[in-house]
Structure 1
Amino acid sequence: MLWVDKYRPKTLDKVLVHEDIAQNLKKLVTEQDCPHLLFYGPSGSGKKTLIMALLRQIFGPGADKVKVENKAWRVDAGSRAIDVELTTVSSTHHVELNPSDAGFQDRYVVQEIIKEMAKNRPIDVKGRKGFKVLVLNEVDKLSREAQHSLRRTMEKYSASCRLILCCNSSSKVSEAIRSRCLNMRINAPTEGEIMKVLEFIGKKESLQLPPGFADRIAHQSNRSLRRAILLFETCRVQQYPFTSNQAIPPMDWEEYVSEIASSIFKEQSPKRLFEVRGKLYELLVNCIPPEIILKRLLYELLKKLDSELKHEISHWAAYYEHRLRLGQKAIFHLEAFVAKFMSIYKGFLIETFG
């Protein structure tokens, strides 16, 4: 088992990061009532860890007995019936799914599937009136129609069902949904908090950490706790005992993006653009989010650019990131950004060197 899963806190009492939020959540449970919750914050900040610890706090060990299913539903979409297939993680007490995986059919997922789950008779918990919990991931990626349907579901089935919503940015969640939830902002952990977790894992694994080693990993993690733990384990696999000057390897996909950036600088042509497109596809197929690919590619390109071009390239990166969020096919916008960069960079080379 990876350390990121092995040392994930099982209860709210054992949470090492965001202890104040964990205590507030614990207070909610002891008051025997849990409102709809919206957890939002950057990737790797610990949202899912807090959610799972909260579920264990409410339902006990039963929340751990989960099964993963790839379920297909036939839902009524006005004049026709459509088939929607989604992966769900469920226990007796909760169901977790990602409605945005259904793409433009997400509103049918919200209208029919969630409605069906919410209608199930709640299970009594410790003698008091129970409720089921629906955990919905990436609600910021839901369409406006789906968010509108979700608002109605929250109101109609609130007696028997609680919703825990999880997303990176609350600004893309409608005001109507936010106002019906207790909003929990989960900040990215500080480097000091990340070091504390790394030292805890090192102690549990009986590892000797040289001075400054945890600090370097924390610095390279970009304040993502998940990333920091993965880097720490990678270092352990590659070389132990640790040395104070030991290299901390980048992620495989980051090296791949760096190679893509180098190939773009070497040649700006339709043939090279076609090759880059295939590599971008490979990253997307391996579940690297398109926004992360674009951000990393910009970072690698800016490292090798003259200062006079940096502003213009950053402007176009922001433009295509916006288009990326509005559109459906990520590859179109990533490829368009690369094509735009090639055009600007080639023009700059011609102008500079003739």
Structure 2
Amino acid sequence: MTRSSFIKKSPKTSRNWSLNKTVHICSSMGPSGSGKKTLIMALLRQIFGISAEKVKVENRTWKIDAGSRTIDLELTTLSSTNHVELSPSDAGFQDRYIVQEIIKEMAKNRPIDTKGRKGYKVLVLNEVDKLSREAQHSLRRTMEKYSASCRLILCCNSSSKVTEAIRSRCLNVRINAPKEDQIVKVLEFIGKKEGLQLPPGFAARVADKSNRSLRRAILSFETCRVQQYPFSSNQAIPPMDWEEYVSEICSDMMREQSPKRLFQVRGKLYELLINCIPPEIILKLLSELLKKLDEELKHEVCHWAAYYEHRMRMGQKAIFHLEAFVAKFMSVYKAFLIETFG
């Protein structure tokens, strides 16, 4: 199921939205898999027509003058004739250079309008909530300076991590996670388009396992189709590979508490991060641990999970804080075992 087919069916495209002079910046926020990027593409399609979907992927390298040294930054962009989509947070702690130089360079270039009117370029910035404070301050200045030739669409999961200075300059649009019955309708629509026969209740079971993420529901649906078709009414809905890996990590942490085991768990955490699993999601292994812990320990483990999640959001290297949480858990759990069983 392609994104364009969702765009054509989306009821939100019927709104008379336009990025005119009164709306320079639009902010789309909501949980992962709720449809933020689909709505953004629907908006661009309504403004620019079919050309908004004719995009190309570019890997470009910029040379940034940082005072006493020159920094080479490589960034992947997705662009059409009227818009550019990028994720400045991919540059890590150097994201401020992306905002200060690269976005500024893109914002300066106004597209040619053959009808004699002044056109504008749309910049879609993903994961704005992951930008550093310095990058967000630089983005605010860029938004103000180049508002005549550029319109910005900011996309994020949580607006609480975006500075008030940026939020106050945006038209904020909250995209709620779809309800399970809405996900069921989408899966049934996909099945109809693909000519698939769905047993009664099968789509509802997939939606129940999706945690209200439409992206995850569609991926699970595709996995079930690959593993077994025709579908059966009692067919197992496979979990994500990374979820099984996290469950394995939880078992390792509870089976043995030692420096050797900590080193092994660290390697598995690296494996998850390398495969682009967000560290916040990895820390949700807490939910797996809580299923196996005594009531006495649940409160303390929740406290330390929240503590290291806060430190992880404030810091840069997620692996340090994930490993620290694992070490703390091992220490607390081993002390509990010694006290209980001697």
The TM tier, using the shorter chain, reads over 0.9
Distance in 1 (CA, whole Å) between partners of 2:122 and 2:257 is 52
1:86 aligns with 2:85: no
- Paired residues in the alignment total 342
Partner of 2:125, secondary structure, is strand
Please say which of residues 126-135 and 142-151 is displaced more in the overlay: 126-135
| Aligned position for 1:347 | 335
How far 1:123 sits from its partner (Å)? 2.9
Partner of 2:48, secondary structure, is helix
Partner of 1:284, secondary structure, is helix
- Computed over aligned residues only, the root mean square deviation of the Cα atoms, in angstroms, reads 1.7
Q: 1:332 aligns with which of 295, 298, 320?
A: 320
Decide whether the 8 Å contact of 2:23 with 2:171 is kept in 1.
no
1:301 aligns with 2:289: yes
Q: How does 1:113-262 map to 2 (within 5 A)?
A: 113-124=102-113, 128-262=117-251
Decide whether the 8 Å contact of 2:110 with 2:119 is kept in 1.
no
1:268/1:233 Cα in 2 relative to 1: closer, same or farther (>3 Å)? same
Distance in 2 (CA, whole Å) between partners of 1:276 and 1:150 is 38
How far 1:128 sits from its partner (Å)? 4.3
Partner of 1:28, secondary structure, is coil
| Aligned position for 1:14 | 9
What are structure 1's unaligned runs of at least 5 residues?
A: 1-5
Post-superposition CA distance 1:73-96 (Å, at most 9, x none): 112223433222111111111111
1:30/1:281 Cα in 2 relative to 1: closer, same or farther (>3 Å)? closer
Distance in 1 (CA, whole Å) between partners of 2:301 and 2:279 is 18
| TM-score, normalised with respect to structure 1 | 0.92
1:107/1:178 Cα in 2 relative to 1: closer, same or farther (>3 Å)? same
Decide whether the 8 Å contact of 1:11 with 1:57 is kept in 2.
no
Partner of 2:72, secondary structure, is strand
| TM-score, normalised with respect to structure 2 | 0.95
How far 1:35 sits from its partner (Å)? 3.2
1:178/1:299 Cα in 2 relative to 1: closer, same or farther (>3 Å)? same
Decide whether the 8 Å contact of 1:134 with 1:163 is kept in 2.
yes
* Amino acid paired to 1:99: P
Aligned sequence identity (%): 80
Distance in 1 (CA, whole Å) between partners of 2:103 and 2:279 is 27
Distance in 2 (CA, whole Å) between partners of 1:69 and 1:326 is 31
| Aligned position for 1:314 | 302
1:126/1:39 Cα in 2 relative to 1: closer, same or farther (>3 Å)? farther
1:177/1:166 Cα in 2 relative to 1: closer, same or farther (>3 Å)? same
Post-superposition CA distance 1:107-164 (Å, at most 9, x none): 1111111111011123327664321011111111111111111111111111111001
| Aligned position for 2:311 | 323
Decide whether the 8 Å contact of 1:93 with 1:123 is kept in 2.
no
Partner of 1:165, secondary structure, is strand
Partner of 2:107, secondary structure, is helix
Post-superposition CA distance 1:4-44 (Å, at most 9, x none): xx3324575512xxx3x4443xx113979753110011011
Distance in 2 (CA, whole Å) between partners of 1:131 and 1:337 is 47
* Amino acid paired to 2:277: I
Distance in 2 (CA, whole Å) between partners of 1:138 and 1:160 is 23
Distance in 2 (CA, whole Å) between partners of 1:59 and 1:177 is 26
Distance in 2 (CA, whole Å) between partners of 1:127 and 1:13 is 30
How far 1:228 sits from its partner (Å)? 0.4
Distance in 2 (CA, whole Å) between partners of 1:330 and 1:31 is 40
What are structure 2's unaligned runs of at least 5 residues?
A: none
Partner of 2:316, secondary structure, is coil
How far 1:308 sits from its partner (Å)? 1.4
Distance in 2 (CA, whole Å) between partners of 1:119 and 1:199 is 45
Distance in 2 (CA, whole Å) between partners of 1:30 and 1:259 is 48
1:173/1:291 Cα in 2 relative to 1: closer, same or farther (>3 Å)? same
